[in-house]
Amino acid sequence: MKFIDEYRDAEAAKRFAAALRHITSRPWTIMEVCGGQTHAIVRFGVDELLPKEVTLVHGPGCPVCVTPVELIEKAIEIASRPDVIFCSFGDMLRVPGLSKDLLSVKAEGGDVRIVYSPLDALATAQENPSRQVVFFAVGFETTAPANAMAVFQAFRQGIGNFSLLVSHVLVPPAMEAILSSPSNRVQGFLAAGHVCTVMGYSEYEPIARKYRVPIVVTGFEPLDILQGIYMTVRQLEEGRAQVENQYSRAVNRNGNRQAQELIREIFEVTPRKWRGVGEIPSSGLGLRPKYAAWDAERRFGLADRIVEEATVCISGSVLRGEKKPHECPAFGAACTPEHPLGATMVSTEGACAAYYRYRRIQMRHTHAPEHQS
């Protein structure tokens, strides 16, 4: 297919791998921020092409994965109400709460619907004026403009039976949290191209300077990722720490200014809890006071509810790049896509789901002697 095959060319990939081997003189650890990049890396074996000195670790770039149990429990409580139509993207329905998920609520009779846009949920509210319609607004900066537009339209049209359960998180503060951790081993980042399509990449420049780490904005196809790794390693080898843009066909430094203005109009920066990580200051978006009437947490009296996370799942260590999915004793055994213990096994962008789908047999073979002992 045009514009796809050219970024999956095997011979070109081999040339990038050879170029990487040529410039790499010491060990380097690089984190890809986005879960979509993780899936491409594991699916196409990008990491298996790299020189042994280059290690990839998987970052927190899956908004489904980092949505805290607290918000899942709030979603379950709201969706269980008989007067509510609860709308969500499909992958959120199987993210486990403390005892069940949204799909279980649906099975028990709750009106839980899969939609493809928050504007679909807004239309549902217009069609059902006697019921409350709640949209689970999950995502990084990428989905924030559409969610902001839904609230803006509800405000402008006076649609009072619509609200958002907001779980928006921001990438730069998460990167800073990783870099400032005493256990950090990340020396360079592949930044998420789709986030930068909206936000640009100027906000990464202070991070690169402060922590002396190269950050390369990277796309999602195998050759994008290989080129992004090459650019990162080249900076590391040369002792540079700059922001570079591999994904220039979609990203510019300033991003989409109109989308940013809409986000700033509707949302304000807030602290946000990340599943398996904890609260990161200034790492989330919440509705501004002007639009508080469309905040589902306030509407249903759940803003002050606190839920503690269970400790069985090691997804937090996976999201911080400290462990790989197959290092979890539950991986592929107690934790599978059919019976997940954590969100990283559920989401289509989750690292555990990627390893289960593409590496499970390989990992089982590699670790068989250890399991037998």
23 and 83 both lie in a single domain: yes
**DSSP one-letter code for 159:** -
253 and 324 both lie in a single domain: no
Residue 226 has a pLDDT of 97
Last residue of a domain, one of 268, 286, 312: 312
**pLDDT tens track for 149-181:** 999 999 999 999 999 999 999 999 999 999 999
209 and 322 both lie in a single domain: no
Residue 348 has a pLDDT of 74
CATH of the domain at 183: 3.40.50.11740
Residues (pLDDT < 50) of the chain are: 1, 365, 367-373
Residue 359 has a pLDDT of 83
Written in H, E and C, the secondary structure of 62-106 is CHHHHCCHHHHHHHHHHHCCCCEEEEECHHHCCCCCCCCCHHHHH
For 202, other C-beta atoms within 10 Å of its C-beta total 13
32 and 156 both lie in a single domain: yes
297 and 319 both lie in a single domain: no
User: Positive or negative CA dihedral for 112, 114, 118, 120?
Assistant: negative
Last residue of a domain, one of 262, 283, 312: 312
Last residue of a domain, one of 294, 312, 330: 312
Cβ atoms of 285 and 166 closer than 8 Å: yes
Q: How far apart are CA 127 and CA 369, in angstroms?
A: 59
280 and 353 both lie in a single domain: no
212 and 235 both lie in a single domain: yes
69 and 37 both lie in a single domain: yes
Residue 371 has a pLDDT of 35
- 3-class SS of residue 261: helix
Radius of gyration over every alpha carbon of the chain, rounded to an integer in angstroms: 21
Residue 213 has a pLDDT of 98
Q: How far apart are CA 289 and CA 293, in angstroms?
A: 8
Residue 1 has a pLDDT of 44
User: Positive or negative CA dihedral for 278, 318, 146, 90?
Assistant: negative
Residue 340 has a pLDDT of 84
319 and 301 both lie in a single domain: no
Q: What's the number of domains the chain is made of?
A: 2
332 and 233 both lie in a single domain: no
342 and 308 both lie in a single domain: no
Residue 311 has a pLDDT of 62
* 53: containing domain: 1-312
123 and 262 both lie in a single domain: yes
Residue 63 has a pLDDT of 83
Q: How far apart are CA 307 and CA 301, in angstroms?
A: 15
CB under 8 Å, gap of 24 or more: what pairs does 298-305 form?
Answer: 299/132, 299/163, 300/74, 300/77, 300/78, 300/81, 302/74, 302/77, 302/78, 305/70, 305/73, 305/74
